[in-house]
Amino acid sequence: MNAVTASATGFLARYEGLTGRLPGDPAPRRAARDILLSAGLPHLREEGWRYTNLAPLGDARFHEALTEASGFTGDDDLPSLGGLSELPRLVFVQGRFSSAQSVLPELASVRSFAANAEFGALANPGRDRLVALNTMLAEDGAIIEVAEGVDAGSLVLISAGRDIHGTPVAFHPRHSIRLAAGARLTLVEMAVGHGQYLHNPVTEIVLGEGAALSHVRLQNEGLAAYHLATVYADIAARATYDSFTLCAGARVARTELLVRLHGTGGHAAINAAQLLRGAQHSDFTTVVRHEAPGCASRQTVKHVLAGRARGVFQGKIEVDRLAQKTDGYQMNQALLLSPDAEIDCKPQLEIFADDVKCSHGATVGELDSEQMFYLVSRGIPQAEARALLVQAFLGEALDMVADEPARAMLDDVISSWWVHEG
Amino acid sequence: MPAIAETLNTVQSVADNGYKWGFETDIEMEFAPRGLNTDIVRLISERKGEPAWLLEWRLAAFSAWQGMEEPVWALLNYPKIDYQDSYYYAAPKKKAGPASLDEVDPELLRMYEKLGIPVSERAILAGVEGAEARPPMAVDAVFDSVSVATTFRSTLAKSGVIFCPISEAVREHPELVRKYLGSVVPPTDNYFAALNSAVFTDGSFVFIPKGVTCPMELSTYFRINAKNTGQFERTLIVCEEGASVSYLEGCTAPMRDENQLHAAVVELVVLDDAKIKYSTVQNWYPGDAQGRGGIYNFVTKRGACRGARSKISWTQVETGSAITWKYPSCVLQGEGSVGEFYSVALTNNHQQADTGTKMIHIGKNTTSTIVSKGISAGHSNNTYRGLVRILPKAAGARNHTQCDSLLIGDLCGAHTVPYIECRNPGAKVEHEATTSKISEDQLFYCRQRGLSQEDAVGMIVNGFCREVLKELPMEFAVEAQKLLAVSLEGSVG
Amino acid sequence: MLEIKNLHASIGEKPILRGITLTVPDGQVHAIMGPNGSGKSTLSYVLSGHSDFTVTDGTAHFDGTDLLAMEPEARAQAGLFLAFQAPVELPGVGNANFLRTALNAVRKARGEPELDAAQFLKLARAEAKRLQMPDDMLKRNVNVGFSGGEKKRNEVLQMTMLQPKLAILDETDSGLDIDALKIVGDGVNALRSPGFSALVITHHQRLLDHIVPDAVHVLAHGRIVRSGGADLARALEAQGYAQVIAEAA
């Protein structure tokens, strides 16, 4: 067995140990196992993984999967919710649904994957091997459904993780979000934790015709954690998927958003900000696939990198032959605050239709010295001036978060990040 | 007048629609046996009368190549190449050296005529020096694997400029060749470079000594003529401190049903304050409208800006080849050095191109500019792939990339794959890319003024490419415009 | 010169022209006036052959030939010129190069010798000067970065260079100041001759002060609802379209 496949060995052994105890149809899990057995975890020599090294993941010895939620959680393990505290929330601890800490919504149906395990049709474990890993080992997750025409308001989805007495833990939640035609939902996802653990969630989102999902995601995992998230979103005609992701946590993170616009007039926004310092590595990878005519996609991604942090952005817009009148836009900007920080970006266009308007832009640089001077000359201290300019830089992406409590929560995370940094 | 100018004139009468450089020249050839092994490598080296060190160099490259895998990351789709099914050495049979032009096969001279090698050049080839040469241009013609004639050598020699076939340079200037060969593109750099290093047969060598501005433009014509023959030329250009040169290359090949392999390596070296402007008009046979035949063009081109304030500028107009895999690059080591890449890549019918550049910023205050214009028509696929890498010491580095694609018709693809890797906070990198089609309004406007649909498309496409075409030497640019229009024939209407 | 009979045209499924009949004799200038959406610009596009519009009925003849059967460039080469309401930009295409290519295409069709660069530039510079256009307008890219007024003047420059038999001016006066209006008027008047006709599409009377028409037609809902002499334009200006159209109905 070569070094590549060896990296999945620990996970494969765990799967064998759990046989018969995992919920749902075992067939997809076996298929996922076979994929990992032959191809292993993604490695640097693969084009989509040239900037993110998962080798340390194979070396880390993760604890036996938990078959039930261990009761370590006090509410102090949960993030501060601020204005979101009034909202219904689903709390997952170590990947398991914690009903005691959750407040179920009235207008959306919520079921657990543990009791209703079903693998959706969007996931592609053959291509996306972290999804194969999830499929093989998923124990729990949230199944959220909003019925036709219903505006379900806002819902918070929290994941809290931590190592157990210094031993790392791995969990692979499987979420599914379905909005029927004309339904609406604002989903605020927050991932937090302490110590070393692996959080490898897969989320499948299906939006019916004219549905609208506003998806605000905070990745603020513990600074020793691995966060490897994959989100699939299928968007029907005239539906809107409006997402914003803030990546501030984890030692190694990869967020992959795979969006498919398959109905005329669909709209997707995949905005993000990454705030990294120390030795953090965060990879934000997106593929927006236009398969139907007259769809629009918008993407603004900002990186602020301090210390020895490394930010990665890979963004691909694919336009199918049938997707005439596509309007695709993508902007990726990075601010390097330290001589040891690094940004790698690969914004891609892959276009097979001729009547399209697609553009992307990327810039990398440091803070504008003239702007700095202007602020300082008005008596603003250096550190504050830097903070002001960085927040202005991030503002362009953050301003796309329309939901006020969610925006306030993100602003709080950014301010406290800045307190540590400044 | 540059090659393609007259070519275009000649061409109109040569063939009907389609590729117009497709004539074949019947010249007696000498072939080495088909296939690739150490014996062939030794045979090539022996035929060239090479010193032992170069044979060793080739053999090392060949052994490395055997252990390498053909790259698969490009957006290219072609059947597996059987490297044993090709000839690696083909040369026109001739007697002594090329100095005696009378001995050149008259068929070869007729080929020059068809290729449109400048009138003055043909006069010179015919021994009538002194014909009204405008700002003259020195020409090296590489026919299949062998350089057959180089003009204006004595004029150049007066300024200390060396312009000769590389095989001759190996014999005449071994210290220079040994110093620079493989220093920019090491023999093991990539699969095709390793192959080239093992079997290259000829190419041009240019050396511009310290402080000299080359008194004329230098040009090489590459022509593949023989069947089933790979062409592996190797070009090396060195500019010492303060020297500068403008170098042009043109490429054509006959129409053939089978695919032919072309795997060239070009190395450029510039020292302090030196400049090289390298312009290419690549018009290898692209295959027919159904995608049969055509050249597989796998080329490694790289320049090293070793000196402070040195500059390398690549300009390419790529209209030919069935497959193009080519990334002319700059390694910007010297403080304040400058790299430029201006590219037009046009694909039609079933052509596939994956082309772009790499700008590696190592030194302080290095700057690079990338302007890429891709045009896709027919069933073709056209990919821009470019890397901008800023290393930690490249404070003050700057890059600007503009990358535009134009689609003509709805069966083709246009792709953009930039890689930006930045490890210095004082650097500034900007990348912009757009994809669009020719608007109906623009076409109608032109047609309302009396232009035919094809002329209107040609005019709009040339406008789209203007930023690149203006970087070409003037007459080359005019002819490149015509070439773009000719290459688009049949793609509209 | 131009003979239109019962012309119907639509864009997609939507009918725009609903039976236009109009004759412009040699040497005459006719004005087409009408409110927004009456089909004025559509008429100019249909006559010049824009593919967005489908002719569903009727005929149009230009010097006796069936105009509707010709490709757009053939119509241009036969001497039909459209001064666009909103001329499109052609990035990277030099204005002089464009104009010379167009002029030579038209000259070739007329059996006249093509002009070389020097002959052309001499002519173009003289015309540009007459139209009080700055020299650099010939060097710039076609309409790229031109102000509204510059674009319109550029259209008139092309018209005077190409020497059409029939010029259609589609709201060439919109966005022009008084001085520019006079220059445009002078440009058209200079072409007036027994072999030149024009269709001047406008909202306003003021251009017609400079280019006095032989006839004025009012277009509404895709039909000509009223025709008259130059004084009709003045009446329209005074009373507004609504009343004139109401009276006609």
B198-237 tens-digit pLDDT: 999 888 999 999 999 999 888 888 777 677 777 898 999 9
pLDDT at residue A201 greater than cutoff 80: yes
- Give the ipTM: 0.88
SS3 content of chain B, % helix, strand, coil (to 5): 25, 35, 40
Instruction: Give the pLDDT of residue B270.
Output: 98
A15-31 tens-digit pLDDT: 998 888 899 999 999 99
A258-269 tens-digit pLDDT: 999 999 999 999
In this prediction, residue A3 has a pLDDT band, given cuts at 50, 70 and 90, of very low
pLDDT at residue A334 greater than cutoff 90: yes
Share of chain C above pLDDT 70, in %: 100
* Closest chain B residue to A362, measured at CA: B431
Lookup result for tokens 């498309």: B457
Mean pLDDT of B9-29: 52
Residue B309's contacts (CB-CB under 8 Å, 6 or more residues apart) are B272, B273, B334, B335, B336, B337, B338
Q: Which residues pair with B235 in a beta bridge?
A: B266
pLDDT at residue C148 greater than cutoff 90: no
Strand A327-336 relative to strand A296-305: parallel, antiparallel, unpaired?
parallel
Lowest mean pLDDT among A144-158, A408-422, B337-351, C144-158: A408-422
Instruction: Give the pLDDT of residue A82.
Output: 83
* Closest chain B residue to C142, measured at CA: B463
Of the CATH numbers 3.40.50.300, 3.40.1130.10, 3.20.19.10, 1.10.630.10, which one belongs to the domain with range C2-248? 3.40.50.300
Strongest mean pLDDT among A191-195, B360-364, C8-12: B360-364
Instruction: Give the pLDDT of residue B275.
Output: 98
pLDDT at residue B130 greater than cutoff 60: no
Residues of C in contact with B460 (CB under 8 A): 90, 93
B436/C contact by beta carbon, under 8 A: no
| Nearest CB neighbour to A342, from listed B73, B417, B423 | B423
Share of chain B above pLDDT 90, in %: 55
DSSP label of A163: -
Strongest mean pLDDT among A347-361, B358-372, C189-203: B358-372
| Nearest CB neighbour to C73, from listed B439, B450, B465 | B450
Instruction: Give the pLDDT of residue B53.
Output: 95
Strand B413-422 relative to strand B381-390: parallel, antiparallel, unpaired?
parallel
* Closest chain A residue to B416, measured at CA: A349
Lookup result for tokens 């320049």: B303
Mean pLDDT of A393-407: 92
Instruction: Give the pLDDT of residue B120.
Output: 42
Instruction: Give the pLDDT of residue A175.
Output: 98
* Closest chain C residue to B442, measured at CA: C88
- What's the residue count for chain C? 249
Chains C and B touch (3+ CB pairs under 8 A): yes
Chain-chain contact of B449 with C76 (C-beta, under 8 angstroms): yes
Residues of A in contact with B372 (CB under 8 A): none
In this prediction, residue A380 has a pLDDT band, given cuts at 50, 70 and 90, of confident
CA–CA distance, B68 with B70 (Å, rounded to integer): 7
Chain-chain contact of B445 with C72 (C-beta, under 8 angstroms): no
Instruction: Give the pLDDT of residue C93.
Output: 87
List the subunits that have 3+ CB pairs under 8 angstroms with B.
A, C
Chains C and A touch (3+ CB pairs under 8 A): no
Mean pLDDT of C31-55: 92
Chain-chain contact of A356 with B420 (C-beta, under 8 angstroms): no
CA–CA distance, A324 with A264 (Å, rounded to integer): 10
The answer to whether the beta carbons of residues B295 and B326 sit under 8 Å apart is no
Query: In 3-state terms, what secondary structure has residue A386?
Result: helix
Q: Where are the domains of chain B?
A: 7-487
Chain-chain contact of A356 with B410 (C-beta, under 8 angstroms): no
Instruction: Give the pLDDT of residue A270.
Output: 97
CA–CA distance, B7 with B20 (Å, rounded to integer): 9
B332-353 tens-digit pLDDT: 999 999 999 999 999 999 999 9
Q: Which residues pair with B359 in a beta bridge?
A: B330, B388
Residue C212's contacts (CB-CB under 8 Å, 6 or more residues apart) are C29, C230
Instruction: Give the pLDDT of residue A74.
Output: 60
A238-279 tens-digit pLDDT: 999 999 999 999 999 999 999 999 999 999 999 999 999 999
Mean pLDDT of B462-486: 86
Chain-chain contact of B409 with A354 (C-beta, under 8 angstroms): yes
In this prediction, residue B149 has a pLDDT band, given cuts at 50, 70 and 90, of low
B91-128 tens-digit pLDDT: 766 543 444 344 445 555 565 555 555 434 444 443 33
* Closest chain B residue to A343, measured at CA: B422
* Closest chain B residue to A346, measured at CA: B419
Residues of A in contact with B402 (CB under 8 A): none
**What residues in chain A have their Cβ under 8 A from chain B's Cβ atoms?**
47, 321, 324, 334, 336-366
pLDDT at residue A134 greater than cutoff 50: yes
Residues of B in contact with A358 (CB under 8 A): 434-436
- HSE-CB of A323 using CA atoms within 13 angstroms: 30
Chain-chain contact of B462 with C92 (C-beta, under 8 angstroms): yes
pLDDT at residue A5 greater than cutoff 70: no
Strongest mean pLDDT among A375-384, B30-39, B63-72: B63-72
Strand B311-318 relative to strand B338-347: parallel, antiparallel, unpaired?
parallel
Mean pLDDT of A135-156: 96
pTM of full prediction above 0.90: no
CA distance A186 to chain B (A): 33
pLDDT at residue B185 greater than cutoff 90: yes
- pLDDT averaged over every residue in chain A: 91
Chain-chain contact of B425 with A339 (C-beta, under 8 angstroms): yes
Instruction: Give the pLDDT of residue C45.
Output: 94
Mean pLDDT of B239-256: 88
Q: Write out the two tokens for B407.
A: 């689609």
Q: Write out the two tokens for B27.
A: 């010249």
Q: Which of B80, B388, B275, C24 is nearest to A344 (CA)?
A: B388
In this prediction, residue C42 has a pLDDT band, given cuts at 50, 70 and 90, of very high
Mean pLDDT of C122-134: 88
pLDDT at residue B136 greater than cutoff 50: yes
CB atoms under 10 Å from CB of C207, counted, come to 25
* Closest chain A residue to B73, measured at CA: A47
Chains A and B touch (3+ CB pairs under 8 A): yes
DSSP label of B378: T
Q: Which of B56, B123, C218, B406 is nearest to A349 (CA)?
A: B406
Chain-chain contact of C92 with B450 (C-beta, under 8 angstroms): no
A57-77 tens-digit pLDDT: 877 777 655 544 455 556 667
pLDDT at residue B5 greater than cutoff 60: no
List the subunits that have 3+ CB pairs under 8 angstroms with C.
B
Share of chain B above pLDDT 70, in %: 82
- Mutant choice from C101, C139, C140, C154 vs B, greatest count of B C-beta within 10 A: C101
| Nearest CB neighbour to A345, from listed B405, B408, B420 | B420
List the subunits that have 3+ CB pairs under 8 angstroms with A.
B
Mean pLDDT of A71-86: 75
DSSP label of B260: E
Lowest mean pLDDT among A305-309, B54-58, B453-457: B453-457
Chain-chain contact of B462 with C141 (C-beta, under 8 angstroms): no
- Mutant choice from C93, C98, C155 vs B, greatest count of B C-beta within 10 A: C93
Distances (CA, A) of B238 to A34, A363, B166, B188, C88: 55, 34, 12, 21, 47
In this prediction, residue A212 has a pLDDT band, given cuts at 50, 70 and 90, of very high
**Burial class of residue C15 in the structure, from the number of CB atoms within 10 Å of its CB (0-12 exposed, 13-18 middle, 19+ buried):** middle
- Phi-psi category of C19—alpha, beta or left, where left has phi over 0 and alpha has psi -120 to 50? left
Side chain identity, residue B135: P
Mean pLDDT of A398-414: 93
| Nearest CB neighbour to B449, from listed C71, C97, C102 | C102
- Mutant choice from C44, C90, C106, C108 vs B, greatest count of B C-beta within 10 A: C90
* Closest chain B residue to C108, measured at CA: B450
pLDDT at residue C248 greater than cutoff 90: no
C207-234 tens-digit pLDDT: 898 999 999 999 999 999 999 998 888 8
| Nearest CB neighbour to A351, from listed B415, B425, B427 | B415
- Phi-psi category of B457—alpha, beta or left, where left has phi over 0 and alpha has psi -120 to 50? alpha
- Mutant choice from B447, B460, B474 vs C, greatest count of C C-beta within 10 A: B447
* Closest chain C residue to B467, measured at CA: C92
CA distance B58 to chain A (A): 28
- pLDDT averaged over every residue in chain B: 84
In this prediction, residue C41 has a pLDDT band, given cuts at 50, 70 and 90, of very high
CA distance C109 to chain B (A): 9
The answer to whether the beta carbons of residues A193 and A162 sit under 8 Å apart is yes
Mean pLDDT of B182-189: 96
**What residues in chain C have their Cβ under 8 A from chain B's Cβ atoms?**
48-52, 71-73, 75-77, 81-82, 84, 87-93, 97-98, 101-102, 105-106, 109, 141-142, 158, 162
Q: Where are the domains of chain A?
A: 3-261, 368-422
Mean pLDDT of B155-167: 90
Instruction: Give the pLDDT of residue B315.
Output: 96
Lookup result for tokens 């990035």: C91
CA distance C97 to chain B (A): 9
- Mutant choice from A364, A368, A370 vs B, greatest count of B C-beta within 10 A: A364
Instruction: Give the pLDDT of residue A77.
Output: 74
Q: Where are the domains of chain C?
A: 2-248
The answer to whether the beta carbons of residues C72 and B455 sit under 8 Å apart is no
In this prediction, residue A209 has a pLDDT band, given cuts at 50, 70 and 90, of very high
CA distance A24 to chain B (A): 38
CA–CA distance, A225 with A247 (Å, rounded to integer): 13
Residues of C in contact with B440 (CB under 8 A): 51-52
Residue, of C52 and A187, whose pLDDT is higher: A187
B470/C contact by beta carbon, under 8 A: no
Chain-chain contact of B429 with A364 (C-beta, under 8 angstroms): yes
In this prediction, residue B487 has a pLDDT band, given cuts at 50, 70 and 90, of confident
- HSE-CB of A105 using CA atoms within 13 angstroms: 25
B289-311 tens-digit pLDDT: 888 889 999 999 999 999 999 99
Residues of C in contact with B449 (CB under 8 A): 76, 98, 102, 105-106, 158, 162
